[in-house]
Amino acid sequence: MTVRRTILKQDLVKKLYPDSVSVDAAMQQLRRDIELCPELKAQIANTGHTKRHYYNKQQLLLILEHFCITHEEFEQL
C-alpha cells in the first residue's frame, strides 16, 4: 500500500480522534500529544519543513508509529 506524499492535518486528526467535538479540538489534542513526547517532536522537526497545513510522508509515518497504528489500519479508519 502506498503512502501519499502529504496529508492534510485536519484529515489526520479526523481519523485519529473521531469522537472529538470539533476539528479544532482534535488539532489541539494532537498538538498536546506531540508536546508530551519530546522525542516525537524532535523527530517530526528533523524530517523537514512542510506547508503549514500538511504533514509530509515521514512525519505521518512517525505519528502513526507513535500511536501504534499501521498504515493499513490508518487507511481503514
pLDDT, residue 2, reads 61
Residue 5 grid coordinates: 506524499
Identity at 43, one-letter amino acid code: Q
**Residue 11 domain flag:** yes
**Residue 14 domain flag:** yes
Number of domains the chain is built from: 1
pLDDT, residue 48, reads 77
pLDDT, residue 3, reads 64
Name which of 12, 10, 6, 31 is nearest 75 in CA terms: 12
Name which of 67, 70, 52 is nearest 6 in CA terms: 52
Residues 28-69 have pLDDT tens digits of 999 999 999 999 999 988 987 767 788 888 999 999 999 999
Instruction: Give the C-alpha separation, 8 to 15, whole Å.
Output: 11
**Residue 41 domain flag:** yes
pTM of the predicted model as reported, rounded to 2 decimal places: 0.82
Domain extent, residue 71, equals: 6-76
Which position has the higher pLDDT, 15 or 6? 15
